[in-house]
Amino acid sequence: MQQAFLQLSGELNFDISFQEESMYRRMRRVICFDMDSTLIQTEVIDELAMRAGVGDKVKEITEQAMQGKIDFAESFKERVKLLKGLDVSVMQEIVETLPITEGLDRLISVLKKVGFKIAILSGGFTYFGNYLKEKYQLDYMYANELEIKDGKLTGNYIGDIVDAKRKAELLKLIAQVEKVDIRQTVAVGDGANDLLMLETAGLGIAFHAKPKVIENAKQSLSSVGIDGILYFLGYKDSMLDGELLQK
């Protein structure tokens, strides 16, 4: 049987989820989130670029990468090079004013109470991912590490790039570590570099995503906050506002 969730808000906007009804739907145990434009309402690399005086150039490259028009890894290298010489103090300034996505506090609270393991799998940067991991006491965080020398960004990065392929690999790895079937996993993201992760997960959700992602994802959430994911997981308002949140 197919399950569909429709949410109308203001104009005629639809959030749709088609899921096979099975024992796995209510047995999800691992959820992996993209970070930029998913958990936070900005692209951190764009914020860094504005302070480095290359905002317009980097923003254009970021948008093309998220739309899937250019290779993510190559775009990542190109953008990071443009940040060379930026003082690391800027990162602290940005992290202190990160715009958290509407509904995130509620979502994380419920996910923890029902026993989910929660991960950030980000094409962004560890500095900001670690901040969110600590703030919400999440279980896993993988992102890209910027190289720093003498208190400034060098324009280089350390380690492998967390691109689309790597995100999917990490999702599988976390499922193995947690000893859960891949069908018990959930992935949430907005950009083209999230598509493979969404396809790999038992439930992949495009959240306020780019057109290409919405077109290819089976589940799409665009008209409500990120806590709308709870409906896709099978939780009703009566459960969320009542007994569940009192535990």
Active site annotation includes 36: yes
**CA dihedral sign, ordered 188, 194, 197, 199:** positive
Whole-number pLDDT of residue 208? 95
Q: Annotated catalytic residue: which of 34, 163, 190, 194?
A: 34
Listed as own residue / partner, the contacts of 135-139 with beta carbons closer than 8 Å and 24 or more positions apart are 136/104, 136/108, 137/112, 138/108
Whole-number pLDDT of residue 28? 77
Active site annotation includes 34: yes
CA dist list (Å): 31 to 198, 200, 233, 243: 11, 12, 11, 23
Q: pLDDT category, 5, cuts 50, 70, 90?
A: very low
Token pair, residue 65, equals 């990468």
**pLDDT tens digits, residue range 131-156?**
999 999 999 999 999 999 999 999 99
Give the CA dihedral 186, 188, 192, 197, nearest 10 degrees. Answer: -20
Q: Annotated catalytic residue: which of 15, 36, 163, 227?
A: 36
Q: Structure pTM?
A: 0.87
Whole-number pLDDT of residue 27? 75
Q: pLDDT category, 238, cuts 50, 70, 90?
A: low
Whole-number pLDDT of residue 20? 53
Contact 202, 183 (CB under 8 A): yes
Whole-number pLDDT of residue 105? 97
